[in-house]
Amino acid sequence: MTTTTTPAPNRKVAIICSHGGLDEVYPSLILANAARQSGIDAFIFFTFWGLDAITERKVDHLHVNVVGQPSSGMPTMLAGLPGMEALAASMMKKSMAELELPTVREMLQILDESGAELYACELAMKMFKRTKEDLVPQVKDVITAGDFYDLSEGAQIIFT
């Protein structure tokens, strides 16, 4: 008796990154990296403030939003003082360096090299008056939300 097996369909994950804080961007990057390490196709769609993570002049200067963040443990009055976001980002970057986590820029390079596809939202690009030339080179294209749905058909969608 001969049995034939059908190959399992290729798994895909589509991640929508809409926030630009250092602590908000990493989950998208880490999820995409874990997917690629597991052989899962990964697409990230950067929209609204998430564009900061792929904008050349901003990628190395992401902050941590501590105002209104109850998990930070910092009182709202103190969190709103000038420089607190930069201080929180600096502390987070130090912790990440101790854990030998790649920077956002390095993560984008790792993802690109692993075959993950990075896309910028056309509407958000127009809203924030950015061009493809403003973006890091790992961004494959600037596309519409509809294009992203077509591209990621059958994928599990994660909104971060």
Mean pLDDT of 80-91: 74
What tokens appear for 108 in the block? 């984008």
Per-residue model confidence (pLDDT) at position 2:
54
For 12-62+103-159, give the CATH class: alpha beta
Task: Give the dihedral sign, CA 48/54/56/59.
Answer: positive
Question: What are 114's two structure tokens?
Answer: 């692993």
pLDDT at 117: 97
What's the pLDDT at 9? Answer: 66
Strands (E) across the chain are located at 12-17, 41-46, 117-121, 139-143, 156-159
Contact present, 114 and 87 (Cβ < 8 Å): no
Q: What letter would DSSP give residue 21? A: S
CB 119 within 8 Å of CB 45: yes
Residue 52 CA to residue 32 CA, distance in Å, equals 17
pLDDT, tens digit, 9 for 90 and up, residues 12-36: 999 999 999 888 999 999 999 999 9
How confident is residue 94, by pLDDT bands cut at 50, 70 and 90?
confident
Domain parsing of the chain, residue ranges: 12-62+103-159
Q: What is the per-residue DSSP string for 116-148? A: -EEEEEHHHHHHTT--GGGB-TTEEEEE-HHHH
On average, the pLDDT of the chain sits at 88
